[in-house]
Amino acid sequence: MREPEPVKVEKVKYVLWAADWQRCLKFYQELFGGGVVFQSEVWSEIVIAGATLGVHGGGEGKRTWTGLSFQLDDLRAGIVRLLECGGRLASEPNDTPDDPLHLAMCIDPEGNE
């Protein structure tokens, strides 16, 4: 018996909801230099470091944990830029007990943590 062929994946996307989709796109453009590849009121896509972030309009703008993570070359400089672009810190950076990595929880202007 022949094994079935796997489904062909064209792109992997991480999706965020936004009450103000244009503000959300602008935030990720300004903070990370992302390139908008498609935009509309209902669905938009921005590419950051080769990954596609989908922005779905119609969100409530409430604070929501997403699991989205960005690894930066300079976390402290990234935090300064985050604040300049309208983001917020949920917690200050700190070392983890097992690694000397610095972690900070951040929130975009749409409430996505």
For residue 1, what pLDDT is reported? 84
For residue 11, what pLDDT is reported? 87
Query: Distance between terminal CA atoms of the chain?
Result: 47
For residue 96, what pLDDT is reported? 65
Listed in sequence order, the residues at least 6 apart from 107 whose beta carbon sits closer than 8 Å to its beta carbon are: 63, 87, 88, 89, 90, 113
Dist CA 50 CA 2 (whole Å)? 35
Per-residue pLDDT of 76-98, as tens digits, reads 889 999 999 999 999 888 766 76
Helix, strand, or coil (residue 77): helix
Torsion on CA atoms 55, 57, 58, 63, rounded to nearest 10: 40
Residues pairing with 56 in the sheet: 17, 43
pLDDT tier, 113 (very low <50, low <70, confident <90, very high otherwise):
very high
Dist CA 66 CA 59 (whole Å)? 13
For residue 100, what pLDDT is reported? 62
CATH superfamily of the domain spanning 13-107: 2,3-Dihydroxybiphenyl 1,2-Dioxygenase, domain 1 (3.10.180.10)
pLDDT tier, 101 (very low <50, low <70, confident <90, very high otherwise):
low
- Nearest alpha carbon to residue 65 among 28, 104, 106: 106
CA pseudo-torsion sign 10, 12, 16, 17? positive
For residue 108, pLDDT beyond 70:
yes
For residue 102, pLDDT beyond 90:
no
Per-residue pLDDT of 14-55, as tens digits, reads 999 999 999 999 999 999 999 999 999 999 999 999 999 999
